[in-house]
Amino acid sequence: MGYDWLKIEVLRPFSDILIEKLDWEIVTCKKTGDITGKNYKAYLKIFDRKGCSFEIIQFETGRVWISGSIHKYWNGNNYSSITLTEIEKAFTHLLGQFGIKLINCLILKLEFGVNIPIDFDPFDFINRLIAYGHTSFDRMGKIGRRFTLTEYEDKFYSKSFQCGLSTHVLRIERKVTDSVYLRKKGIYTLADLFKKINVEKLANELLKIFKFFIFDDWSIDENKLTTKQQVELAKYRNSEYWCRKDKNQKNILFKGLDAEGRRSAKDKFRTIIKKYGYENYLSIIKDNVIRTLELLQKEYFTKSHVSEVQM
């Protein structure tokens, strides 16, 4: 599993080396030019490309935040494949020049996920997503769909469309917006991201996503269905049918399903798909995610050396 954009807080004060090495700029209002506070910004980058730099903010109190895409910082893009070993090297390169250890960096926000190269358009998968558990998806502009909770949001989008690639790449990603989510799993610092037990936990979190999909099959020949099945299929394909509704809400087509009703409806929908459909986009993507996660873990945890991060 790869890590991408993140925000961290350095737990120990920076040394004078940091102050001397970086070109700091004071934060000002873009409209008026007025100083908005005694906060200073600096940037670190390897590639001279938009979005590939890390932003460092130093507050008047001495508090320091660092944010950016570790994937873009190291590779110059975040649509390519990247291993845990490469990500570890990237963090070492980024922080090591200032004598900062990964164990001294508290994670505030984090994106983790996988880029899946496929031989069909990612929208063939994305456009068949109906609902996520008892909630409908939100659109991510033109590139995909997402599902948002209080602690995180899950994204499913076309990297190939977003980045103008000639090959097909689907991105499946969880963006953690509240660090409580990570704390519950025993993940506090950057060093924790490279412990085997935590990598396995986050990999399993990505795989659990597939349990909640309500997924369509466009190959179903409705002429082969009974009238009752046609009516049921029309309901199943409507995202509003699966969504939990406010009991006081008026003028809604579907009142919402309870847990038992949702299980029953999913079973009936899957029965129709299994008997009358022949598409396998969901199984292809799931198998690819499983294989990618297994390879990422195998690559890192079968290395002959012991990572300093894990010590």
pLDDT band at 275 (very low <50, low <70, confident <90, very high): very high
Range in 2-11, 55-64, 155-164, 196-205 the model is least confident about: 55-64
pLDDT in tens, 169-182: 999 999 999 999 99
Long-range contacts of 150-156 (CB under 8 A, 24+ apart): 150/178, 151/176, 151/177, 151/178, 151/180, 151/181, 152/176, 152/177, 152/178, 152/181, 153/177, 154/209, 155/113, 156/125, 156/126, 156/129
What pLDDT score does 250 carry? 53
Is 16 a residue whose pLDDT tops 70?
no
What pLDDT score does 168 carry? 97
Q: Where are the alpha helices (DSSP H) in the chain?
A: 16-21, 70-75, 84-96, 122-126, 159-163, 180-183, 196-208, 227-236, 239-242, 259-276, 281-301
pLDDT band at 17 (very low <50, low <70, confident <90, very high): low
What pLDDT score does 308 carry? 45
Chain-centroid distance of CA 93 in Å reads 24
Is 74 a residue whose pLDDT tops 60?
yes
pLDDT in tens, 31-59: 555 555 567 888 889 999 988 999 998 88
Is 164 a residue whose pLDDT tops 90?
yes
What pLDDT score does 311 carry? 32
Residues 94-120 have a mean pLDDT of 93
What's the rounded Cα separation, in Å, for the pair 114 and 207?
A: 11
Let me know: does 281 contact 128? Beta carbons within 8 Å: yes
Angle at 119 between CA 118 and CA 125, to 5 degrees: 65
pLDDT in tens, 200-254: 999 999 999 999 899 999 999 999 999 999 999 999 999 988 886 655 555 555 5
Angle at 292 between CA 286 and CA 295, to 5 degrees: 140
What pLDDT score does 248 carry? 57
| Pairing of β 54-58 and β 213-215 | unpaired
pLDDT band at 268 (very low <50, low <70, confident <90, very high): very high
> Model pTM?
0.87
What pLDDT score does 310 carry? 39
Q: Which of 278, 302, 273, 281 is nearest to 116 (CA)?
A: 281
What pLDDT score does 229 carry? 95
Average pLDDT over the chain, rounded to an integer: 88
More confident residue, 64 or 106: 106
